[in-house]
């Protein structure tokens, strides 16, 4: 049974384990993590000095999609991830795990859209090379999903980005939310629409080619133009 077939038979919240298989095997166009956070989420801030790890000073830009158009993300701080006690990845970032510490009281979701089981055109990927994207973690710990240290340093898969607000062009923290797409035809629809509204439309129509949200503990800092 293919990965795509298995995805259709599991609940959205359980999709993380199957999605992670593609990354762990290093198959082109396969996937990783996620969790949806509401826009402008407010939570009690946790001390970050001991619970977070950063990327080491990388800044720059990537493209993203917002409300039907392509925008630019301007990264000016390191990513942060709460380091779970069981984490073994070099980045300190973990798939399938909700955040337990936050870098600010206000943040918005960044939807990371990952192709599963196919390789889309490079031009449709904001981050086309596994493990290499500006101010993203290069590795993710999947050992919590599989219960095996074999999966503790998996490369972050190729992906694209969708946001639902520009935060008035002001820089802020964004909580990473991964969504897998298991069909090239569906991927093309998302690329054409360039909006989260299309993801919602597909789900509401009962599409089995878009996964549910899978949690990570990853936060990225950028502004949008």
pLDDT in tens, 97-113: 778 888 888 999 999 99
The pLDDT value given to residue 54: 40
The pLDDT value given to residue 177: 85
User: 26-40, 44-58, 151-165 — which is least confidently predicted?
Assistant: 26-40
Cα dist from 12 to 18, 179, 193, 211, 215, whole Å:
11, 10, 22, 6, 11
- Torsion-angle region of 22 (φ positive above 0: left; ψ -120 to 50: alpha; else: beta): alpha
The pLDDT value given to residue 16: 42
**In this structure, what token pair is assigned to residue 103?**
């870098």
User: 48-62, 120-134, 135-149 — which is least confidently predicted?
Assistant: 48-62
Helix/strand/coil (H, E, C) string of the chain?
A: CCHHHHHHCCCHHHHHHHHHHHHHCCCCCCCCCCCCCCCCCCCCCCCCCCCEEECCCCCEEEEEEECCEEEEEEECCCCEEECCCCCCCCCCCEECCCCCCCCCCCEEEEEEEEECCCCCCHHHCCECECCECCCCCCEEECHHHHCCHHHCCEECCCEEEEECCCHHHCCEEEEEEEEEECCHHHHHHHHHHCCHHHHHHHHHCCCCCECCCECECEEEEEEEC
Taking alpha carbons only, the member of 164, 157, 109, 111 closest to residue 137 is: 157
The pLDDT value given to residue 110: 97
Please give the share of the chain, as a percent, with pLDDT higher than 70. Answer: 67
The pLDDT value given to residue 38: 31
- For residue 201, which phi and psi values (nearest 5 degrees)? -60, -45
Quick check: 136 and 125 in contact, CB under 8 A?
no
| Distance from C-alpha of 149 to C-alpha of 126, rounded to nearest angstrom | 29
């Amino acid at each position: 049974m293919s990965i795509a077939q298995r995805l259709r038979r599991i609940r959205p919240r359980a999709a993380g384990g199957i999605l992670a298989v593609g990354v762990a095997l290093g198959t082109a166009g396969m996937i990783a993590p996620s969790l949806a956070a509401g826009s402008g989420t407010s939570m009690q801030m946790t001390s970050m000095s001991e619970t977070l790890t950063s990327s080491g000073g990388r800044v720059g830009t990537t493209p993203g999609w917002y409300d039907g158009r392509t925008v630019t993300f301007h990264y000016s701080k390191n990513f942060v991830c709460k380091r779970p006690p069981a984490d073994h990845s070099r980045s300190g970032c973990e798939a399938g795990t909700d955040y337990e510490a936050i870098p600010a009281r206000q943040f918005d979701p960044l939807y990371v859209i990952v192709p599963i089981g196919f390789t889309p055109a490079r031009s449709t990927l904001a981050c086309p090379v596994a493990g290499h994207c500006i101010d993203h973690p290069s590795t993710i710990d999947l050992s919590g999903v599989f219960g095996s240290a074999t999966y503790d340093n998996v490369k972050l898969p190729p992906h694209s980005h969708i946001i639902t607000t520009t935060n008035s062009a002001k820089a802020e923290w964004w909580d990473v939310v991964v969504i897998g797409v298991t069909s090239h035809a569906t991927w093309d629809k998302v690329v054409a629409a360039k909006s989260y509204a299309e993801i919602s439309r597909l789900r509401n129509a009962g599409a089995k080619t878009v996964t549910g949200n899978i949690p990570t503990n990853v936060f990225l800092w950028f502004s949008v133009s």
